[in-house]
């Protein structure tokens, strides 16, 4: 059984940078709008400041407040202002031992068996630090935050489809298949135009010389006449059978038949 190549690549041994393995880091859960603000911020921009106030009472957790930079908190195009002040609710790690890994794309030199040196894309793996504190970033419930939550709730509950009143007349056109031929259609319509009654009767008599019974669909194809007009003529010279074995079929009236009753047309 062969092992997929991508599985082998995922489990192959790789070098890991351990220079920052002893550094203590915080694992913080932040609101979605706050992470989006950080992603849009320039690389050299200061996204905010953290203020840590230690408690005077022993054993009590410090008070930690994060203040978002004023320029990022302002409402951008199509956005609403978000709260600046956020309080960190600290939680313990329990028995967990967490570290932060990073993957950085880099170009490394590779030498082939023929001695040709080339650069190939690779990833640098490293440990950025050990988690020493977990926290939940919660915004202060000010007017900006309440407005932001209201807009998010309205967007979430907005129906996917709405009824829109039209101010102008909309012209609806029946879809036409790709293989539709307007010339053939016009010829077919022309063939369905009413002919003289005597001509239609002659076509019917010639048809009934060949067969004794016909359904109306076959007679429409033979005479090329509108079905309503054809039925009017059929009622004058034919009988409509309601019983088996020739149910729903037309037959000439006795006075128009060229064969005797009980005989079959050839």
Q: Would you say residue 218 lies in a domain? A: yes
Whether residues 31 and 136 share a domain: the answer is: yes
Whether residues 131 and 201 share a domain: the answer is: no
pLDDT given for residue 181 in this prediction: 64
Is the pLDDT at 127 greater than 80? The verdict is yes
Write out the residue range of the structural domain in which residue 196 sits. Answer: 190-256
The tens digit of pLDDT for each residue in 201-228 reads 999 999 999 999 999 999 999 999 999 9
The angle subtended at Cα 164 by Cα 162 and Cα 165, nearest 5°, is: 155
pLDDT given for residue 6 in this prediction: 60
Give the separation between CA 254 and CA 239, rounded to whole angstroms: 9
pLDDT: which is higher, 157 or 63:
63
Q: Would you say residue 167 lies in a domain? A: no
Whether residues 228 and 123 share a domain: the answer is: no
Identify the CATH number of the domain in which residue 199 sits: 1.10.10.10
Q: Would you say residue 179 lies in a domain? A: no
pLDDT: which is higher, 140 or 79:
140
- Indicate the pLDDT class of residue 263, thresholds 50, 70 and 90: low
Q: Would you say residue 170 lies in a domain? A: no
- Number of domains observed in the structure of the chain: 2
Whether residues 34 and 130 share a domain: the answer is: yes
Residue 135 DSSP label:
E
Give the separation between CA 234 and CA 240, rounded to whole angstroms: 9
The interaxial angle of helices 216-223 and 197-210, nearest 10 deg, is: 120
Q: Would you say residue 168 lies in a domain? A: no
Whether residues 124 and 204 share a domain: the answer is: no
């Amino acid at each position: 059984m062969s092992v997929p190549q991508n599985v082998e690549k995922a489990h192959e041994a790789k070098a890991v940078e351990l220079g920052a393995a002893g550094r203590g880091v915080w694992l913080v859960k932040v609101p979605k709008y706050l992470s989006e603000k950080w992603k849009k911020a320039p690389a050299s921009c200061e996204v905010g400041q953290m203020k840590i106030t230690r408690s005077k009472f022993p054993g009590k957790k410090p008070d930690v407040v994060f203040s978002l930079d004023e320029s990022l908190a302002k409402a951008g195009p199509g956005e609403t202002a978000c709260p600046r002040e956020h309080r960190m609710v600290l939680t313990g790690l329990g028995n967990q031992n967490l570290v932060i890994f990073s993957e950085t794309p880099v170009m490394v030199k590779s030498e082939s068996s023929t001695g040709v040196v080339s650069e190939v894309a690779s990833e640098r793996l490293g440990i950025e630090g050990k988690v020493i504190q977990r926290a939940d970033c919660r915004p202060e419930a000010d007017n900006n935050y309440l407005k932001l939550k209201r807009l998010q709730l309205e967007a979430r509950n907005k129906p996917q489809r709405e009824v829109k009143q039209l101010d102008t007349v909309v012209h609806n056109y029946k879809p036409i298949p790709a293989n539709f031929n307007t010339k053939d259609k016009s010829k077919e319509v022309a063939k369905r135009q009413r002919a003289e009654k005597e001509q239609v009767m002659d076509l019917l008599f010639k048809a009934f010389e060949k067969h004794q019974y016909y359904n109306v669909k076959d007679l429409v194809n033979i005479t090329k006449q509108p079905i309503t007009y054809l039925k009017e003529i059929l009622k004058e010279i034919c009988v409509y059978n309601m019983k088996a074995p020739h149910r729903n079929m037309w037959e000439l009236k006795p006075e128009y038949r060229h064969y005797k009753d009980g005989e079959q047309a050839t």
